[in-house]
Amino acid sequence: MRFFSYRNKRLLRRIAWIALAVLGALALLIIARISYLGRFVVYSDGHAYFDMDQRLRRTQQPPETHADETYNYETVFSDGADTERPDPAGVQLHGYYISTTMLAAGVDEVRQALAEADGYNAVLIDVKSPLGNFYYSTSLVGAQTADADIKACDALIRALTARQDLIVVARVPAFSDPNYIEQHYAAALSIRGGALWMDERRCYWMRPDDAGVQSYLTAIALELQTLGFDEVLFDNFYVPDDPSIVWDSSIETPQAATAECAAALQANLSVTGLRLALGTTDPAVAENASRVFVTTERANSVMDVTEALSEVLPDPDAGIVFVTTSHDTRFDDHGLIRPLFGED
């Protein structure tokens, strides 16, 4: 019997076609599976992983209404709309802060809480996270926005800054910004061996003595001014006290560099009309600020902080603001900002 007879050739061709069909089906199945799973890939800090529970926002249809139509702030913020805006310089602040956690959870709850609150003259709102993500529609080159409803955040900022009875302060983490460091490695705090220093959240920090960092912070402040904010607070305005950080600067100490950075920002913003607030208890830094914000839960430190900063602030009653979740009455005679909700 001939192996390559006509009948055997037909059988081999049939087997070959069947094999090709099976391979083609497998290939289509693999491609479909990859396409399906690809929707669940999450990229974070240079790594990729699967998150099967995440919402597939890309498949959702955009709302037909604009943010202003969806969020009718006029009915929420009507009280005091016709009153004269207070001069921020001499006002002791009493109000609430809106954290990034609140914004990420949903602006509707923030709106409701503000509608129910009374007796406040200030709102502090986080506009940037320690991860470097912005909570408004920024135009800064290379900036990244947070995983939140940014249009709703924009509308909330517009409504707050439009109120004449409020002093509205934008809070920005001063030096924690992994996004910026990923594009400017030389501007980062480092440790021995050249590796970049990270805090407990695994965030990289910027150097206060870096000219690019000072320019970047100034650009953020100027953009916030265009949004109508009365003040910008650069919070946590210090270099962490960690012995692993290598300080290789022409400025002798991190503390001196932080003070010089504060002075540079104050000089850059002095002609703009935007008030510079700093999160610090260091008098050398505080003397460059129009107001200082001190985040603490320790009411027994109020007197010590007030006495130390009174030496450099002309009006301590208006110039010092405590940010706390505590309801200890020792805070009540001072400028005071507490959480709007959910963080007591």
Q: What is the mean pLDDT of each run of 10 residues along the chain (344 residues)?
A: 52 66 60 44 39 35 33 31 59 96 94 94 98 97 94 97 96 98 96 94 97 97 97 98 95 97 97 95 96 96 94 92 96 95 77
Q: Give the CATH number for residue 162.
A: 3.20.20.70
| Residue 129 to residue 145: CA distance in whole angstroms | 10
Q: Which residues contact 173 (CB under 8 A, 6 or more apart)?
A: 128, 129, 130, 234, 235, 236
| Residue 313 to residue 283: CA distance in whole angstroms | 9
Q: What pLDDT does residue 8 have? A: 58
Shared-domain flag, residues 278 and 229: yes
Shared-domain flag, residues 20 and 89: no
- Of 60, 83, 107, the residue at which a domain comes to its end is 60
Contact 334, 320 (CB under 8 A): yes
Contact 285, 174 (CB under 8 A): no
Parent domain of 45: 1-60
Q: What pLDDT does residue 72 have? A: 28
Shared-domain flag, residues 46 and 76: no
Contact 134, 216 (CB under 8 A): no
| Residue 206 to residue 186: CA distance in whole angstroms | 9
Shared-domain flag, residues 44 and 102: no
Cα dihedral: 307, 311, 316, 321 (round 10): -70
Contact 143, 150 (CB under 8 A): no
Report CA 66 to chain centroid distance, whole Å.
24
176, part of any domain: yes
344, part of any domain: no
Shared-domain flag, residues 52 and 73: no
Q: What pLDDT does residue 342 have? A: 83
Q: What pLDDT does residue 67 have? A: 35
User: Position 216: which residue type?
Assistant: Y
User: Position 148: which residue type?
Assistant: A
Tokens of 171: 């809070």
Contact 110, 156 (CB under 8 A): yes
**Strand ranges inside the chain, DSSP E:** 41-44, 47-50, 94-98, 122-126, 133-134, 144-145, 167-173, 190-191, 231-235, 245-246, 275-278, 291-295, 320-323, 335-339
| Residue 41 to residue 165: CA distance in whole angstroms | 46
331, part of any domain: yes
Shared-domain flag, residues 290 and 159: yes
146, part of any domain: yes
Q: What pLDDT does residue 343 have? A: 74
Q: What pLDDT does residue 37 have? A: 41
Report CA 64 to chain centroid distance, whole Å.
28
